[in-house]
Structure 1
């Protein structure tokens, strides 16, 4: 059944307010303007405006018109949402050791959920249900509409793993650049010079690019790898051929899963680690269980969880007193880097 005309107007204005197209304090079209735009009676347009006013989305000033209501303080729920793509498989990175004690100390309940929760939840429901959100950004382009609305309404959000440069959310990040440096320096110390960087695909996430640049910086200071190895990198699907053609003796992989898959592809030609050394990233549980056990760059997930918990609570406390009441222009988000560590296992050995 087709919606009533007044409801169509209401929905259009409602969406414009929530997405920030009509910013807090901005003037709303008048009854006359709406009736002309939508070709309806002024009674119909008036009903739409009346419902917006009743729902606390606009207010009216006698003789001046209707305006978008400034964001009012939310009722505290005592709950924080933690969106984690691998929430059902913490072997890929367990933040709970650091974050749960913070939640308990400050009296918050933490709901951990996979990212698809955001596909089923409107921004309004999210902001009514929770006081803030910790968002592990598996990529930097998902849920833009929802995140934009959260920012417009001053809803506290802290991102993990990646910065969202279009927003001003604070971010807690592993020092991926340092990780690339540590991996390259370790292989160089073992006598390797022909060291490649292996990507899992041609899509390079922000974190992976930082790891690669750390590798590049260290290699440029040590050997003329750009001349010897073309650009020194390959994707997994062409890695075996590249390794053979370029006479590579060691590889740094964008993460542990790529490293383990490369080990499977190479098998015994060359032998690992007798003839070929491999380093991964992230120190997932499987890294210690493969044969040979994988040398890797470990993230301090507990510390990242602790800092994210503290930061979102800080944001919640600030927003209670300094709610943003204007159309927001995003700035570069503040990022806090957490040190990574080299975990040496059997997949790396001195070059013969």
Structure 2
């Protein structure tokens, strides 16, 4: 395996300290100077100096720099009591609709002795970018809205600080993104209903503006229908509103199947339809997206497209570690989705 770039700097400085070339209280090169000498980023040179500090070989003086603390024998091993810190941000820490990324993320970080600090996106309003860079070696955040916190994110991007985004890609920022293959999910759901005899398939969403992930699912739906020369029925309906809009839409367009933007919308649609004496799936087939925990417990259990949240968390952790250690920005990664058939859909072929 290729040695992390910061290790080259770390080993060179340790040799100079142990050999006496850098004696007690002598000043080390700055992060900027090291980055120029070794042709690496500031974050890499900073990591090397941080490791020396953790080994208790140097001390830092604010505004002046880093200095040799002691010159121990090379045979004396120092115990690095501190660990690298990663910041993991979610819009809502306990929101089941987002999924559990930590099952995949935490084991990876623990294996590499990295501490994970959890927080909400409000951190971007509470701390300046330079504070985040000082306190954390890298950052992973769930992009609820790609237009949020742009000032902080742009500064982190320009400084080359390792940041991984989840779920949505901000194309103006060069952050690598780990996200589900939402387009393929839209295709899978639509093709399943078509294979089961449905020709009047509606896409049900609950936003005036489609979030990027929902938009990609919708494009997968449209692509599959149009390739089969079928008409698309797009229903932007507030399913929680009791004005009967959903029922009117079904009757007007004779819809037999719904693909919903997520499981929460699908379950709310099922509730509204049951109150109107519809039977699922005898009268209508419904498919959700996300496979949240509640989707298997509703009546009937919801057919859905599952995102692999554990895998997303695992890949995000591995990708961030590789970036930090090798000083190379990774590429975007799409994680496959899985279609899960339950009892909310029916074959209508005669």
Partner of 1:24: none
1:170-189 counterparts in 2 under 5 A?
A: 170-189=176-195
Counterpart CA distance in 2 for 1:302 and 1:111 is 18
1:137-152 counterparts in 2 under 5 A?
A: 137-152=143-158
Q: Using a 3 Å threshold, how does the CA distance of structure 1 residues 58 and 312 change in structure 2: closer, same or farther?
A: closer
Among residues 196, 212, 235, which one is paired with 1:190 in the alignment?
196
Among residues 250, 268, 282, which one is paired with 1:274 in the alignment?
282
Partner deviation per Cα, 1:266-290 (whole Å, 9 max, x = no partner) = 2244321111000010001111111
Counterpart CA distance in 1 for 2:314 and 2:31 is 36
Counterpart CA distance in 2 for 1:92 and 1:153 is 29
Partner of 1:74: 46
Q: Is the 8 A contact 1:296 1:344 kept in 2?
A: yes
Residue 122 of structure 2 aligns to a residue whose secondary structure is helix
Partner of 2:347: 350
Displacement of 1:125: 1.3
Partner of 1:293: 301
Partner deviation per Cα, 1:206-228 (whole Å, 9 max, x = no partner) = 111110011111111224214xx
Displacement of 1:295: 0.6
Q: Is the 8 A contact 2:189 2:287 kept in 1?
A: yes
Partner deviation per Cα, 1:77-117 (whole Å, 9 max, x = no partner) = 60001111232235640112211111011110111212122
Q: Does residue 1:166 correspond to 2:163, yes or no? A: no
Residue 337 of structure 1 aligns to a residue whose secondary structure is strand
Counterpart CA distance in 1 for 2:31 and 2:144 is 33
Q: Does residue 1:302 correspond to 2:310, yes or no? A: yes
TM-score with structure 2 setting the length: 0.73
TM-score with structure 1 setting the length: 0.72
Counterpart CA distance in 1 for 2:98 and 2:212 is 18
Structure 1 regions of 5+ residues with no counterpart?
1-55, 60-69, 227-231, 324-332
Q: Does residue 1:247 correspond to 2:254, yes or no? A: yes
1:65-214 counterparts in 2 under 5 A?
A: 71=42, 73-75=45-47, 76=50, 78-90=84-96, 92-214=98-220
Counterpart CA distance in 1 for 2:258 and 2:229 is 15
Partner deviation per Cα, 1:45-94 (whole Å, 9 max, x = no partner) = xxxxxxxxxxx9999xxxxxxxxxx9574354600011112322356401
Q: Using a 3 Å threshold, how does the CA distance of structure 1 residues 58 and 95 change in structure 2: closer, same or farther?
A: closer
Q: Is the 8 A contact 1:140 1:163 kept in 2?
A: yes
Residue 235 of structure 2 aligns to a residue whose secondary structure is strand
Counterpart CA distance in 1 for 2:229 and 2:279 is 25
Displacement of 1:196: 0.2
Among residues 272, 286, 297, which one is paired with 1:265 in the alignment?
272
Residue 282 of structure 1 aligns to a residue whose secondary structure is coil
Q: Is the 8 A contact 2:183 2:216 kept in 1?
A: yes
